[in-house]
Structure 1
């Protein structure tokens, strides 16, 4: 199982007690102020759980959100069950109707957030679970505001892969944190103009999305606090996330680049 990476969004200095007191302290002895602080820390924590390629999960606002789950629900059996599933595009490494059906069969109330093009390809009996959001729209689910960001190609030779308006990137807003998931895209103006992003998941594979250099240049433009390169294996070539990290950190050491185990 791949590691789960926790990002602490609040710092606490709550445990200055001696070891002897720790051993005898009961739950009732914890002050209400400390309990409140601990709960706020739990609410603000973010867990990142890579699965493979474009598939991953995050825990945010004490809820679990899946992104582009493919390969069967059993592949996700060690993760917390999803509260919402986000799908970015119709390509098979992002949309697998059979996998989504398995999740809905286990939880008939499960929401699938997606663009219209994805909903159109879902089996009829699970289309009722799909809630459509289009480029530029903002909607809220489970206390998290979600904005659909365009994702599309710019290079002439790649225009056939991702047309503007068909798929969604996503920005999730909760607890004063902003998380960006690029989906399949190039270094589009809508990405470069993002503001105040705390965590970004940025793709970089050829021939379908963009070169490493373009991905790094876009990140240096919108300056997320932390970025995870993902979706970096393509049909013809494999992008090098270490090269991406070197470009970003050399030009802006304040941006933290973390390379996870996606493959």
Structure 2
């Protein structure tokens, strides 16, 4: 009897650490989600990291530029739609895609991205280039330009290669800038309810350019995102101050898009 109890105790001592190891894996830290009301229920906006955000609306889930490893998306529903803005690795990330359940997702991408995606995704791809739009799953996806200034063929982001996107969902419009500068097409936007605007030198624009662009098209809500550059994180607090000094009606929402940053 004593030997049986001793054996059980030894097995328990080994089993407990093993169980702890298998249950300790957690999702990567991320900022809290926000919601806005639409005519077809709430639109939930979940910041992930850098230029990636996940939208949930009307029973559908939309991933934008999935990047940062599959663990960043732990606990979230599999995507119905994936939007990819450009070919760079912080937007088109095959490693992250490979770790996600994307088999049923429609991938909306510009031609340049379609050319470089792994062959296994080709049947899921819908090419959308600047100026084109797609009606799908009760929403409208419009592709708009994103590019560097001054325009040049050898720019990091030449005009026509990548897409910004405007989503229309339940009567609300959401703008995703992608990698852009303070371009005329952004300034000309009308009726944008929510905007996600980049600001990271030397790849896109600086804080003041981003603020002036936002002041031109006047979204109801704006999130600074994609704000890590060669010199670290941009001063999004200064962005908020510049915008709200000129226009207090614009709701500038600061979220930590880099919670794991040291």
- Partners of 1:150 and 1:233 lie apart in 2 by 21
Contact 1:112 1:131 in 2 (8 A): yes
Distance change (3 Å), C-alpha of 1:3 and 1:238 = closer
Matched with 2:204 is 209
Shift of residue 261, structure 1, vs aligned partner = 1.4
TM-score (norm 1): 0.83
Q: Is residue 2:248 matched to residue 1:257?
A: no
Asked if 1:189 is matched to 2:217, the reply is: no
Which of 35, 59, 71 aligns to 1:7? It is 35
State the distance in 2 between where 1:158 and 1:58 align. 33
User: In structure 1, which of residues 59, 72, 78 is the aligned counterpart of residue 69 of structure 2?
Assistant: 72
Question: 1:111 offset after TM fit, Å?
Answer: 1.1
Please give the alpha-carbon distance, in whole angstroms, between the structure 1 residues aligned to 2:107 and 2:238. 35
Superposition pairs of residues 21-100 of structure 1, within 5 angstroms: 43-100=40-97
TM-score w.r.t. length of structure 2:
0.83
Alignment of 1:143-182 (within 5 A): 143-155=138-150, 160-182=155-177
- 1:112-155 CA-to-partner distances (Å, cap 9, x unmatched) read 11101111111112111111100000111211101001000014
Judging changes above 3 Å, is the alpha-carbon distance between structure 1 residues 158 and 246 closer, same or farther for their aligned structure 2 residues?
Answer: farther
Alpha-carbon shift at residue 82 of structure 1 (Å): 1.3
* Match in the other structure for 1:20: none
Measured in 2, the distance between the counterparts of 1:177 and 1:47 equals 12
Question: For the residues of structure 2 that align with 1:215 and 1:129, how far apart are their CA atoms?
Answer: 34
Cα distance in 2, alignment partners of residues 239 and 213 from structure 1: 11
Question: 1:158–1:119: structure 2 CA closer, same or farther, 3 Å change rule?
Answer: closer
1:115 aligns with 2:143: no
The number of aligned residues is 230
Moved over 4 A (4+): 156-159
| TM-superposed deviation, 1:156 | 6.9
RMSD: 1.8
Q: Deviations over 1:40-63 (max 9, x none)?
A: 6xx331111111111111112331
Answer with 66-75 or 1-10: which moved more: 1-10
**C-alpha separation between the residues in 2 aligned to 1:62 and 1:255?**
29
Q: Which position in structure 2 is the counterpart of 1:36?
A: none
Greater C-alpha radius of gyration: 2
Q: Distance in 2 between matches of 1:135 and 1:8?
A: 27
Contact preservation (8 Å) 2:34, 2:46: no
Indicate conservation of the 8 Å contact 1:158/1:208, yes or no. no
How far apart, in 2, do the equivalents of 1:256 and 1:151 lie? Answer: 23
Of 98, 101, 124 in structure 2, the residue corresponding to residue 101 of structure 1 is 98
Which residues of structure 1 form unaligned runs of 5+?
Answer: 11-39
